[in-house]
Structure 1
Amino acid sequence: MAKDPTAGMTDAQRAYEAKRAAKAGMTLEKWLARKAKAKTTVARTPAPAPAPKRPGLLRRALARARGEA
């Protein structure tokens, strides 16, 4: 048997989610399943690689003094 998606929710949380589900035209179970699926999809999406860091002031000055750039 499937686990109850509202098991760990308080009455207020359940009422809030039920309101959102009704506004979207879905049942509470369907709404929570869709919400859980979206959460796992976002969690699996890799973060973009950070931009390469610019060399510091001292390193740029030394490179300029050496005639490298």
Structure 2
Amino acid sequence: MNESQRAYEAKRAAKAGMSLEKWLQSKAREKENATAAKQPPAPPKPPGFFGRLLERAHKPLKS
């Protein structure tokens, strides 16, 4: 981080009432949380026992 960026972040930290180090740590945590939220959702689970029973109950009977 160059001097101008450091000065800018120091002003923002002072405005928030934090030290520069705490401010930078909080920004890093926010960035991690944002990247964690962008991960693709887990694939859906296959239906369980009762889900399979309900599926079979909704199908017509074979004759």
**How does the TM-score come out when normalised to structure 1?**
0.55
- Secondary structure of the corresponding residue to residue 17 of structure 1: helix
Counterpart in 2 of 1:34?
Answer: 26
Higher relative contact order, chain-length normalized (CA < 8 Å, sep 6+): 1
**What is the aligned residue count?**
41
Identity percentage of aligned residues: 59
Structure 2 residue corresponding to 1:17, chosen from 6, 9, 29: 9
Answer 1 or 2: which has greater helix percent.
Answer: 2
Aligned equivalents of 2:6 and 2:38: distance in 1?
Answer: 31
Unpaired segments of 5 or more residues in structure 2? 42-63
In the TM superposition, what are the counterparts of 1:1-69 in structure 2 within 5 Å? 9-46=1-38
Matching residue's letter, 1:16? Y
- Secondary structure of the corresponding residue to residue 24 of structure 2: helix
Aligned equivalents of 1:36 and 1:28: distance in 2?
Answer: 12
**How does the TM-score come out when normalised to structure 2?**
0.60
What RMSD, in angstroms, separates the aligned Cα atoms of the two structures?
1.6
